[in-house]
Amino acid sequence: MPEPLIFEKSSPERKGYLFPSLDVPIFENSLSSEAAREDLPLPELSELDVVRHFTRLSQENFSIDTHFYPLGSCTMKYNPKIHDELASLSGFSDLHPFQPEDQVQGALEIMFQLQNLLAEITGMDSISLEPAAGAHGEFTGLLMVQAYFKDKKESRRQVLVPDSSHGTNPATAAMAGYEVVQIPSNSRGGVELESLKQSLSENVAALMLTNPNTLGLFDENILEITRLVHEKGGILYYDGANLNPILGIARPGDFGFDVVHVNLHKTFTIPHGGGGPGAGPVGVKKFLEPYLPVPIVKKKKNSGQEWYYLDDHYPKSIGKIKAYYGNFLHLVRGLAYILSQGAEGLKRIAELSVLNANYMKEALKKYYDLPYDRMCQHEFVLSAKKQKAYGVKASDIAKRLLDYGFHPPTIYFPLIVEEALMIEPTETESREMLDKFIRAMIQIAEEAEKNPSLVKGAPYTTPISRVDEVLAARKPNLCWC
Amino acid sequence: MILPHTESEIKEMLSALGLSSLEEMFYDIPEKTRLKRPLNLPPKMSEAELRKQFKQLAGKNHPLSDQISFLGAGVYRHHIPAIIPALISRGEFATAYTPYQAEASQGTLQAIYEYQSLICKLVGMEAANASHYDGATALAEAGFMAADISQKNEILISRGVHPHYRQVIQTYSKGGEISLMELPLIEGETAIQEAEKMVSPKTAGIILQSPNFFGCLENILAFSELCRKNKIPLIISVNEPLAYGILKPPGELGADIVAGEGQSLGIPTSFGGPHVGFIAVKQQHIRKLPGRLVGMTLDKSGKPAFTLTLQAREQHIRREKASSNICTNQSLCAVANAIYLSVLGKQGVQEAAWQCYHKAHYAFHEWEKETGLTPLFKAKFFHEFAMQIPIQSEKFLKEMKKHGILAGYPIEIDYPEFPGGILLTITEVNTKEEILDFSKKAQKVLDLQKCLNH
Amino acid sequence: MVPENLYYTKEHEWVLLQNGKAKIGITDHAQKQLGDVVYVELPAVGAQLKQMSSCGIIESVKAVSEIYSPLSGKVKTSNIALSDHPEKVNHSPFGEGWMFELEEIQESELKNLLSAQSYRELIGNES
């Protein structure tokens, strides 16, 4: 551990921040000893101590700003700095959610505009900006599905998910009270239609689908799939994790999806923050509008002037899914991104993300097993099967990539590919960068064959070597005490 | 933003794929669903145009710093040290993904481990998760945890819990894991006698907020005794963690789970988000915690190192059997919390808390004496209290706003039983001058209304 | 390693019959598949289990699997040593790594279990 813990740098009575002096008399009738705490075991440091500590910690990270980060399914594209500048304007960051409407017209206008633009991009009729993340959007979506069927007095207990789905899909379905039924994939990586037909019944509430799926493949049977589900009265749920490659090319709403969530922190370039915050707006077709979480931003004419307001008059709404109105500052960033791109720009993003992925896939398939050898979308999945013969696993390759200065791809996902390496370059990477990564991957494939222990011992250049995850899990130490 | 590809590169890359156009890459998408028109979006903007447009939009808003505000109700304005935005906007923190690759993410991992530890110290618990979406969703999942621990499903939740939080947990309960019963209030505090009557063999746990929505300090000890007697977990919801800079933390008073909001600790009010939720527990419940956890371990060479741990509880491994579906959390905000608690440190947090406390009590007595406002409750409070306005609260707030003062939150929106009640919050950011100004303007507004009524 | 004197399930549990009671654990094959076991959650003492119902979980770092009760019965005791030392499941799956003991079992259910021979064939096919 190159940088000690903040607690270890503490020195009694040191102060790091000066408050204005108290300008009112001390309240004499103070807290009783039962109510007051005795000790506050927080560290004591100077401002510079704290700045150096967190600066040094930051330097132990790989990030988009410092490294190529082709993490499949995560869409780690460059996050334009202008968005941060805009989100930090005091006219946005210094607003209270309970300020009167006339003081927040600009904020509501941003939300209103983003609702409309996301509806257009996804082909949906109405958008809620409230969910804080993708999985949160999924939960919102399934609760709407549940409310819809309850309203129709239909009891449907199952949700279908493909075996290639994100773990959040089945986890969400279970949280919404559904039984999860898994549908196998076919040899082209899409949904096995026969199994889908067999699983469909009046008991199925929804099918949750990512398309392009987590193999990076577009399911060409999509219209057949949506038709089959609709025929049985089920709802089509679109997991928008992989929306990037179809921006401006096609829209989930046009495929027949009824509910969509969008990951603003993937497709719409909100910085990932080391795991969050994100934003997971949800879009629905007209018939599901009454169930949207409240409030929704609306516009009306108020004595000739445009007036934005929060509408929570949705008697059939599922209710609130988060306090207040969503991760607002991220909505500012998301809107800025869409406005900076326009229709042509968004389409270009899709095209070049797909071009980059296919370019890398073609260059690497000679060296790594490619289980689904066909045109991919924004990402593709290799298998380290060949390397495994030399005792080198996907995780070893991932660690070795760190020594070459690259963040590794997503590994061991999707679960249906053995020793999976899921690579998503995104459109913001130049061809030179792709070539460098390709060369590194080829070199590692060679190392795996000729000097497997070199790969298995990696990384050698990071602040720490491989961590003992077994110890971490057997004797959990989650708090410095 | 402009993408790096030149036209000639695009051509070369396509030819490497044996393609002649970009369009051919999309032939798997059924032809009839491919978009035949450009998306209907506004024309694209340059950076300079964006800046102009968003400054204009921001200009239509009225930030708190341009006025006097006593608005709180779950979202609090505090001084934010300059180092917080400076450090969390570093690309190495802001543009990293979830730290799945420990060797490439020690910065985020250690910062989150420190966050978990600092939160535990503040609220007196033994383990915290790596953050949650916000206080409301953290509380809802804490409710699920309680049901899991007690293997029952009826949660008693106090009416003193923030109304948005109660609405969110109500929404979450629709998945069927829990059902809710409301504990009534007496004089602004949750009625322990009622709770004693309502606890039954079906009860899975009790949720209390302290300080509660009205700012009143709850008797956590009495409820923890009740819970212990019935062998059910006590969940304390926290809107204002800074209060525990001086108040005895819930962990010391017998809480089993503390779930709350960390916005107060270095995060701007941001029109409601992003904020950050936390869930902290006693050691025996760590495997029931939802969301990511960072643990300290060793690397191969025996050096201390950090990693995500107990991942087998999570959705990416356990799928439908996971303890929660959460994946993305509010990591960067959690780092902001860690920086806040570090740079203020022991003395700074105490000072911020005491300043809130003294200023709020000063305001309380000043306003009680000088204006026509009367306290709604007698309970002890931290920096927030409810007062009765002799006129319609809507009218009062509107008139005060004309004088440049946001005079609190009208509680009758959520509590029709308190018409004319407003919730007022005073933090260290408010000055004595502002407090006195409120008195003057409130008198003026109320006098004028009296005249109008005669 | 598949001891002859035990009964087995398709889910890789073993059963040792002793004085009308059944001692239960997971097989050597199962622990190898899982890798380093980091946590075991066992059924509560006194719980009534049905044959092949899920009654506990075993976690390794990156995987989790359920424990199924090979027989119906009442949990008489469980191996509390595993809570501090889950590695016993790896080191001694048929010995110190045992998981729980059932009483009030029905011997008629034994016919639904596999013999050592059949279990050997099963894992032979799997690997």
Residues in chain B closer than 8 A to C41 (CB atoms): 287
Cβ–Cβ gap A323/B134 under 8 Å: yes
Could you tell me which of B267, B86, B81 has the C-alpha nearest to residue A58?
B86
SS (H, E, C) chain B: CCCCCCHHHHHHHHHHCCCCCHHHHHCCCCHHHECCCCCCCCCCCCHHHHHHHHHHHHHCECCHHHCEECCCCCCCCCCCCCHHHHHHCCHHHHCCCCCCCHHHEHHHHHHHHHHHHHHHHHHCCCEECCCECCHHHHHHHHHHHHHHHHCCCEEEEECCCCHHHHHHHHHHHHHCCCEEEEECEECCEECHHHHHHHCCCCEEEEEEECCCCCCECCCHHHHHHHHHHHCCCEEEEECCHHHHHCECCHHHHCCCEEEEECCCCCCCCHHHCCCCEEEEECHHHHHHCCCCCEEEEEECCCCEEEEECCHHHCHHHHHHHCCCCCCCCCHHHHHHHHHHHHHHHHHHHHHHHHHHHHHHHHHHHHHHHHCCCEECCCCCECCEEEEECCCCHHHHHHHHHHCCEECCEEHHHCCCCCCCEEEEECCCCCCHHHHHHHHHHHHHHHHHHHHHHC
Radius of gyration of chain C (CA): 13
According to the model, what pLDDT value does residue B320 have?
83
- Best residue in A96, A374, A469, A470 to probe B by mutation, most B CBs within 10 Å? A96
* % of chain A beyond a pLDDT of 70: 100
- Model pLDDT for residues A292-328, shown as the tens digit of each residue: 999 999 999 988 899 999 999 999 999 999 999 999 9
Residues in chain C closer than 8 A to B310 (CB atoms): 39
According to the model, what pLDDT value does residue A33 have?
84
Cβ–Cβ gap C64/B287 under 8 Å: no
- Model pLDDT for residues C28-68, shown as the tens digit of each residue: 999 998 999 999 999 999 999 999 999 999 998 878 889 99
Distance CA B351, CA B354 (A): 5
Q: Based on the domain organization, do B385 and B427 belong to the same domain?
A: yes
Q: Can you tell me which residue has the tokens 């927030």?
A: B384
Distance CA B36, CA A250 (A): 9
- Best residue in B308, B314, B321 to probe C by mutation, most C CBs within 10 Å? B321
**Residue A208, φ and ψ in degrees, nearest 5:** -100, 125
Q: Is residue B241 part of a domain?
A: yes
Residue range B20-26: mean pLDDT, rounded: 97
Q: What confidence category does residue B362 fall into, taking pLDDT thresholds of 50, 70 and 90? A: very high
Query: Of B340, B370, B396, which residue constitutes the final position of a domain?
Result: B340
- Model pLDDT for residues A213-241, shown as the tens digit of each residue: 999 999 999 999 999 999 999 999 999 99
Q: Is residue B7 part of a domain?
A: no
pTM of the model: 0.96
Please tell me what DSSP assigns to residue C5.
T
- Model pLDDT for residues A3-29, shown as the tens digit of each residue: 999 999 999 999 999 999 999 999 987
Cβ–Cβ gap B268/A93 under 8 Å: yes
Q: Based on the domain organization, do B416 and B444 belong to the same domain?
A: yes
How close A204 gets to chain C, by Cα (Å)?
25
Cβ–Cβ gap B358/A22 under 8 Å: yes
Q: Please answer whether residues A170 and A161 qualify as being in contact, where contact means their C-beta atoms are separated by less than 8 angstroms.
A: yes
Q: Based on the domain organization, do B312 and B439 belong to the same domain?
A: no
Looking at the DSSP bridge assignments, the partners of residue C68 are: C54
- Model pLDDT for residues A373-406, shown as the tens digit of each residue: 999 999 999 999 999 999 999 999 999 999 999 9
Q: Based on the domain organization, do B433 and B326 belong to the same domain?
A: no
Partner-chain residue, chosen from B104, B113, B349, that has the shortest CB–CB distance to A40: B349
Residues in chain A closer than 8 A to B38 (CB atoms): 248, 343-344, 347
Write out the residues of chain C at the interface with chain A, using a CB-CB cutoff of 8 A. 36, 38-39, 59, 61-62, 86-87
Q: Please answer whether residues A16 and A47 qualify as being in contact, where contact means their C-beta atoms are separated by less than 8 angstroms.
A: yes
Q: Based on the domain organization, do B271 and B222 belong to the same domain?
A: yes
pLDDT exceeds cutoff 50 at B71 = yes
Tokens of A474: 């057997």
Q: Is residue B186 part of a domain?
A: yes
According to the model, what pLDDT value does residue A36 have?
94
Residue range B4-12: mean pLDDT, rounded: 97
Chains with at least 3 CB pairs less than 8 angstroms from chain A: B, C
C-alpha atoms less than 13 angstroms from C-alpha of A398 in its C-beta half-sphere: 26
Which CATH architecture describes the domain C7-122?
Answer: Beta Barrel (2.40)
Cβ–Cβ gap B94/A79 under 8 Å: yes
Residues in chain C closer than 8 A to A474 (CB atoms): 38-39, 86-87
Q: Based on the domain organization, do B119 and B230 belong to the same domain?
A: yes
**Contact residues, A window 319-358, toward B, CB-based 8 Å cutoff:** 319-330, 332, 336, 338-349, 351-352, 354-356, 358
Partner-chain residue, chosen from B287, B310, B317, that has the shortest CB–CB distance to C63: B317
B315 touches C at CB < 8 Å: no
Cβ–Cβ gap C60/B312 under 8 Å: yes
Q: Based on the domain organization, do B271 and B412 belong to the same domain?
A: no
Helix (H, G, I), strand (E, B) or coil at C107: helix
Cβ–Cβ gap C39/A469 under 8 Å: no
Residue range A400-413: mean pLDDT, rounded: 96
Cβ–Cβ gap A324/B174 under 8 Å: no
Write out the residues of chain C at the interface with chain B, using a CB-CB cutoff of 8 A. 38-39, 41, 59-64
- Model pLDDT for residues B169-203, shown as the tens digit of each residue: 999 999 998 999 999 999 999 999 999 999 999 99
What do you get for the CA distance between the two ends of chain A, in Å?
18
How close A300 gets to chain B, by Cα (Å)?
17
Q: Kindly provide the ipTM of the predicted complex, given to two decimals.
A: 0.97
How close B74 gets to chain A, by Cα (Å)?
9
Distance CA B97, CA B379 (A): 45
Q: What residue numbers bound the domain in which B370 lies?
A: 65-77+346-453
Residue range B19-30: mean pLDDT, rounded: 96
Residues in chain C closer than 8 A to A412 (CB atoms): 62
Tokens of A50: 């704290």
- Model pLDDT for residues B119-151, shown as the tens digit of each residue: 999 999 999 999 999 999 999 999 999 999 999
Helix (H) or strand (E) holding C15: strand C13-18
Q: What confidence category does residue C127 fall into, taking pLDDT thresholds of 50, 70 and 90? A: very low
- Model pLDDT for residues B364-377, shown as the tens digit of each residue: 999 999 998 999 99
Q: Based on the domain organization, do B230 and B305 belong to the same domain?
A: yes
Helix (H, G, I), strand (E, B) or coil at C77: strand
A310 touches B at CB < 8 Å: no
Residue range C95-111: mean pLDDT, rounded: 94
Query: Of B311, B340, B369, which residue constitutes the final position of a domain?
Result: B340
Q: Please return the burial class of B232, using the count of CB atoms within 10 Å of its CB with bins 0-12, 13-18 and 19+.
A: buried
β-strands C48-49, C54-60: how paired? Answer: unpaired
According to the model, what pLDDT value does residue C126 have?
56
Distance CA B391, CA B419 (A): 10
Q: Please answer whether residues B29 and A375 qualify as being in contact, where contact means their C-beta atoms are separated by less than 8 angstroms.
A: no
Q: Please answer whether residues B243 and B264 qualify as being in contact, where contact means their C-beta atoms are separated by less than 8 angstroms.
A: no
Cβ–Cβ gap C38/A412 under 8 Å: no
Residues in chain B closer than 8 A to A307 (CB atoms): none
Distance CA A143, CA A160 (A): 15
**Contact residues, B window 35-74, toward A, CB-based 8 Å cutoff:** 35, 38-47, 50-51, 53-65, 69, 71, 73-74
According to the model, what pLDDT value does residue B237 have?
98
Chain B's closest residue to C61, CA to CA, is B312
Q: Based on the domain organization, do B381 and B298 belong to the same domain?
A: no
Q: Provide the residue ranges of all domains of chain C, joining segments of one domain with +.
A: 7-122
Radius of gyration of chain B (CA): 26
- Model pLDDT for residues A334-361, shown as the tens digit of each residue: 999 999 999 999 999 999 999 999 999 9
Partner-chain residue, chosen from A26, A27, A66, that has the shortest CB–CB distance to B92: A66
Query: Of B312, B340, B368, which residue constitutes the final position of a domain?
Result: B340
Radius of gyration of chain A (CA): 25
Helix (H) or strand (E) holding C122: helix C116-126
Residue A383 makes CB contacts below 8 A (sequence gap 6+) with: A368, A369, A370, A371, A394, A417, A418, A419, A420, A421
Chain B's closest residue to C39, CA to CA, is B310
According to the model, what pLDDT value does residue B450 have?
80
pLDDT exceeds cutoff 90 at A37 = yes
Q: What confidence category does residue C1 fall into, taking pLDDT thresholds of 50, 70 and 90? A: confident
Chains with at least 3 CB pairs less than 8 angstroms from chain B: A, C
Number of domains in chain B: 2
B302 touches A at CB < 8 Å: no
B117 touches A at CB < 8 Å: yes
How close B36 gets to chain A, by Cα (Å)?
8
Helix (H) or strand (E) holding C83: helix C81-84
Residue B238 makes CB contacts below 8 A (sequence gap 6+) with: B123, B135, B209, B210, B244, B250, B258, B259, B260, B261
According to the model, what pLDDT value does residue C63 have?
82
According to the model, what pLDDT value does residue C125 have?
63
Angle between helical axes of A105-122 and B47-59 (0-180°, round to 10): 130
Chain C's closest residue to B307, CA to CA, is C61
Mean pLDDT of chain A, nearest integer:
96
How close B200 gets to chain A, by Cα (Å)?
24
- Best residue in A92, A467, A477 to probe B by mutation, most B CBs within 10 Å? A467
Domains of chain A: 1-60 (no CATH), 82-340 (3.40.640.10)
Please tell me what DSSP assigns to residue C40.
E
Chain C's closest residue to B316, CA to CA, is C62
B404: domain CATH number is 3.90.1150.10
Residue range A267-275: mean pLDDT, rounded: 97
- Best residue in C61, C82, C83 to probe A by mutation, most A CBs within 10 Å? C61
Q: Is residue B43 part of a domain?
A: no
Tokens of B82: 């300059």
Tell me how many residue pairs between chain A and chain B have CB atoms under 8 A apart: 674
How close C61 gets to chain B, by Cα (Å)?
7
